[in-house]
Structure 1
Amino acid sequence: MIKRIWHGYTTHENADTYQALLHDTVFPGIEAKNIPGYRKIELLRRDLGQEVEFMTIMTFDSLQNVIDFQGEDYERCYVPAEAQRVLSRWDLTSAHYEEIEHHDY
């Protein structure tokens, strides 16, 4: 499994709007692409005082599945225009990690 990890940051005023946008539009749009090997997306949120950080973790079966989703420049971030309007900054690239062990307790 491959984990694709990305961070975006926004103001406290825009945090709930951004979270709703992900839930209502962005995530369903990704899932509608029916990408082979795409398993799930996780959303994490953290208050940093001056801003709010969001982290997404997408899970794919293989790096080739990530390439199928994002193209040959697969490290490039995927931030739709409507999300860019409420984010104050974001990672320009995503990091990719191989899952080497997984425990469900």
Structure 2
Amino acid sequence: MITRVWHGRTSQHDADRYLHFLLTRGTEDYKKVTGNLSVRVWKRLDYDCCHFYTVTEWTNVEAIKAFAGEVYDKAVYYPEDQGILLEFEDTVTHYESFIV
């Protein structure tokens, strides 16, 4: 199993609006892909911003490529991210995952 982790930051002011986006449109494409096992959204309010992580689990790299494309470590963004995210990180992180 492969875990894919994306990170983004918003202002504190935009945090609730962005959380709503992630819980609806921002994660629906993940769930449509065969081989996606789970989608989680993590939120951490910091003193000057809000951090968001989407943590997804996949059966294999081919399933991730079906979502993200051949360059599967490249971050996927949506038009709604413009004007809300404070920066656009180029890549995501992948981990080999084990259930014990």
1: CA distance, partners of 2:69 / 2:82: 20
What's the TM-score, normalizing by structure 2? Answer: 0.91
Percent identity of paired positions between Structure 1 and Structure 2: 26
Aligned twin of 1:69: 67
2: CA distance, partners of 1:39 / 1:84: 28
CA shift for structure 1 position 7: 0.5
What's the TM-score, normalizing by structure 1? Answer: 0.87
1: CA distance, partners of 2:66 / 2:28: 17
2: CA distance, partners of 1:18 / 1:54: 9
Is 2:75–2:91's contact at 8 Å kept on the other side of the alignment?
yes
CA shift for structure 1 position 45: 0.8
What stretches of structure 1 of length at least 5 have no aligned partner?
none
Instruction: Give the SS at the match of 1:89.
Output: coil
1: CA distance, partners of 2:25 / 2:17: 11
Deviates more, 1:91-100 or 1:9-18: 91-100
- How much is the aligned-residue C-alpha RMSD, in angstroms? 1.3
Aligned twin of 1:98: 96
CA shift for structure 1 position 86: 1.1
* Aligned residue pair count: 100
Q: State the 4+ residue runs in structure 1 displaced beyond 2 angstroms.
A: 28-31
Aligned twin of 1:16: 16
